[in-house]
Structure formats: structure tokens, C-alpha cells
Structure 1
């Protein structure tokens, strides 16, 4: 008799969890990744604007970079990458599947760009690479637990009827 009650309470708990969108406590990692992407995008934009407007700020000249390009090019790369990362971060917070895939690609690309920019400003680049690694971890390990907002609301509404 106790096993029947336990089975009923387990089923009821699963149904209740499903009514609330089926998300778990691990969705905090996805929120963390989304917020980190917003910050990472803002950092890229700032880094790009500094490279565009004050290229003497960096520790080495353009010949000291891993990839030999001028700071104006690096400025545009960082600014555009930052804007795309911000948009992907917003979509990730909304629970979009495509945003998880794009988040991993952008975080990997951001890490590569920062490795190439490592000679210009090492501490900043290492910080950005660490954020990139955390975003990749959060999205790959716990990304499937975040459902799109519209799908979970639609499912909860249909379950109530």
C-alpha cells in the first residue's frame, strides 16, 4: 500500500513539474550562460571601440599580435562579434534551441579571437577566454533543460483544459 502511495505521489510530482514547463534547477546554468553572453558581448563591443578610437592603448603594436592586422580591423571584428553575442545571449535566455548552438559557436569563436588578441592585452583576453569556457560548459551540459518560453506556456495551458 505504501508503494502505491509513493507511486501516486511520484506521478503527481512529475505531472506538476510538467505543468510548470518541465524545467529543473539546472536551468540556472543557462541563465548564467545567457547573462555571461550579454556581458561578453558588451566586453567585446568595449574592446572593439577602444581598438577603433584609441589604438595606442594596447600593450603592443599591431606587429606584436598573433595575427598581423591593424587595430581598426580588430576593432570592427570585436564590435560586430560583440553585437552578435548580445543577440544570441538574449535568445538563449528565451530558451531557443538555435541560440544554444549559436552560443557554443560564438563562445568558441570568441575564445579564438581572444587568443589572437592575447599579446595586446593579456589579462583582459584571459578573462574573456575563461568566460567563454564557462558559457560552453553551461550550454553543453545543461542546455537541454531550458525550454522555449512559448512552448512551456502552451503546454501548461493545454494541460489545464
Structure 2
């Protein structure tokens, strides 16, 4: 029996999703670090952010600081898991990116442009992690 000795090739679609997954991992780490910094600022100094308009979902800014700090640590850890190619990292990445969309929506009155940008990045992260099946997948 002969084995197929043809070199392995990667399709353009696989390389696109593979690159998207790597980029999603980097974005998760960056978003996590920025959320950590945002949380520290909100905890340390309540007057740094001002609320824009009246909003149904009102939280104390210190509470938002702790939410962002905790979420940022977990998001950054999941980003490192994605970069290492772990399955738990991808699953956690999808779940945490979804949670980040909800948190940023609720945070809109304090940082509207950043919240919208962070929600858009989270949508990309979900797409990239959901379309990439596994690292090192053999294609024949």
C-alpha cells in the first residue's frame, strides 16, 4: 500500500480563518488589557468618566470599574489560551466576546465610542473563533 506523499497544502479559506483566529487571540489580549486599565481608572477616580444623557441601565462607576477589571483579566487569559491554540480558549473566547458585547452595551453612556468599537471587535472575534475548526488540521 502506498501512502500519499503529496505535500500538504492549505486552502485559502483555511489560511484566512487561521489568520483570523490568531488576530482574534491578539485582539482578546488587547481588549482585556484595555478593560483592566479602564476598570482601574473607574475604581480609582469616579469623576474621570461622565455619563452621556439618561440611560435605563444605571450602575455606580465604581461597580463598572470592578466589572471591567474582572472581565478584562478573564478576557486576556482567554486570549492567551487562543494564542496557545487550546480548545478551551476558543470556547471561552466566544463566550467572553458575547459577554463583552452585553457589558459594552450597558456601558454606552460612559464611553460611547469605545463601547461601539469594542462591540464591533467582539463580533469579529466571535466570527473568527466560530469559523476556525482546529489548529493543525490536515487537509488532503
Aligned partner of 2:134 in structure 1 is: 145
CA distance in 2, matches of 1:96, 1:84: 15
Q: TM-score w.r.t. structure 1 length?
A: 0.73
1:26-105 equivalences under 5 Å are: 26-60=17-51, 64-105=54-95
**Which structure dedicates a bigger proportion of its chain to helix?**
1
Cα offsets for 1:63-107 (capped at 9, x unmatched): 945422211111011001000011111111111111111101100
CA distance in 2, matches of 1:56, 1:64: 17
Q: Is the 8 A contact 1:64 1:120 kept in 2?
A: no
State which structure, 1 or 2, has the greater radius of gyration over its C-alpha atoms.
Answer: 1
Q: CA deviation at 1:133?
A: 0.7
Structure 1 stretches (4+) deviating beyond 3 angstroms? 63-66
Compare 131-140 and 47-56 and name the one that shifted more: 47-56
Aligned partner of 1:120 in structure 2 is: 110
RMSD: 2.5
Instruction: Give the match's secondary structure for 2:77.
Output: helix
Q: CA deviation at 1:120?
A: 0.9
- Structure 2: gaps spanning 5 or more residues: none
CA distance in 1, matches of 2:5, 2:43: 58
Query: Relative to 1, partners in 2 of residues 1:56 and 1:65: Cα closer, same or farther, differing over 3 Å?
Result: farther
Aligned partner of 1:110 in structure 2 is: 100
